[in-house]
Chains A and B, each alone.
Chain A
Amino acid sequence: QQQVKQSPQSLIVQKGGISIINCAYENTAFDYFPWYQQFPGKGPALLIAIRPDVSEKKEGRFTISFNKSAKQFSLHIMDSQPGDSATYFCAASMKTGGGNKLTFGTGTQLKVEL
């Protein structure tokens, strides 16, 4: 089953706090794990991505932690700001006969309060 499970469904964090979103997958054929950020009425934008041979990747305030043995990965947003309020999707990609296919989690609505 090519599923990616994401939690929580929604998250409220105070300004300056740490936002943590978790994802889990089953299929070990997945080899690329991106996170997308989506604002209301807009298309998703790639935020940060990781491959399974790396346990952590940091870009500015955004960090992906990856646990290959547990088949889990998470997004940490440090010093969360009101402008970070958006929906975040994790995804996993695998090679198929038709090229790389992305499977998305169900999304997390993040609200950062002042």
Chain B
Amino acid sequence: DGGITQSPKYLFRKEGQNVTLSCEQNLNHDAMYWYRQDPGQGLRLIYYSQIVNDFQKGDIAEGYSVSREKKESFPLTVTSAQKNPTAFYLCASSAGASYNEQFFGPGTRLTVL
């Protein structure tokens, strides 16, 4: 099956800990994205990557970090500097930065205890 996988589905973290969310795609897409979803606020862009070894900050990058060492993988680290990390995190990909259509993964729900 072609698509985007995110793991884990649910994640619990203690305050002060860093945590890494996984995103893998087998669509051979060049561009990948991370969004954060909070109730009543829609989706907000955290980071995005057009090609391997390159990424840019989105609208709410503070407290997050990413890497893009492989085309199919774009992990997101939520650091202890993120003041309100509890949210639903969505990974997406598109064929390339010039393509509009983005395909989303199933999401990871992060809860900070």
Seen from chain A, the residues whose Cβ lies within 8 Å of a Cβ on chain B are 6, 9, 32, 34, 36, 41-46, 49, 89, 93, 95, 98-102, 104-107
Residue of B31, B56, B100, B109 ringed by the most chain A CB atoms within 10 A: B100
Q: Which residues of A contact B104 (CB under 8 A)?
A: 36, 43-45
Q: Which residues of A contact B98 (CB under 8 A)?
A: 95, 99-100
B102 at the interface (CB under 8 A from A): yes
- Check B45 against A89 for contact (C-beta < 8 Å): no
**Which of B43, B45, B103 is within 8 Å of A46, CB to CB?**
B103
Q: What is the bound-complex CA distance between A46 and B101, given in angstroms?
A: 8
- Check B42 against A98 for contact (C-beta < 8 Å): no
Q: Chain A: interface secondary structure?
A: strand
**Which of A36, A93, A106 is within 8 Å of B41, CB to CB?**
A106
- Check A98 against B56 for contact (C-beta < 8 Å): yes
- Check B106 against A9 for contact (C-beta < 8 Å): no
Q: From A45, which residue of chain B is reached at the shortest CB distance?
A: B104
Q: Which residues of A contact B6 (CB under 8 A)?
A: 43
Q: Count CB-based A-B contacts (< 8 Å).
A: 63
User: What are 15 sample pairs from A and B whose C-beta atoms fall under 8 A apart?
Assistant: A42-B106, A42-B107, A43-B104, A43-B105, A43-B106, A46-B102, A49-B100, A49-B101, A95-B98, A98-B50, A102-B43, A104-B42, A104-B44, A106-B41, A107-B42
B97 at the interface (CB under 8 A from A): yes
Contacts A42-B107, A44-B90, A100-B94 given: A93-B43 contact, CB under 8 Å? no
Q: How distant is B76 from chain A, measured CB to nearest CB, in Å?
A: 14
Q: Which residues of B contact A101 (CB under 8 A)?
A: 45, 48, 58
Q: How distant is B31 from chain A, measured CB to nearest CB, in Å?
A: 6
- Check A102 against B42 for contact (C-beta < 8 Å): no
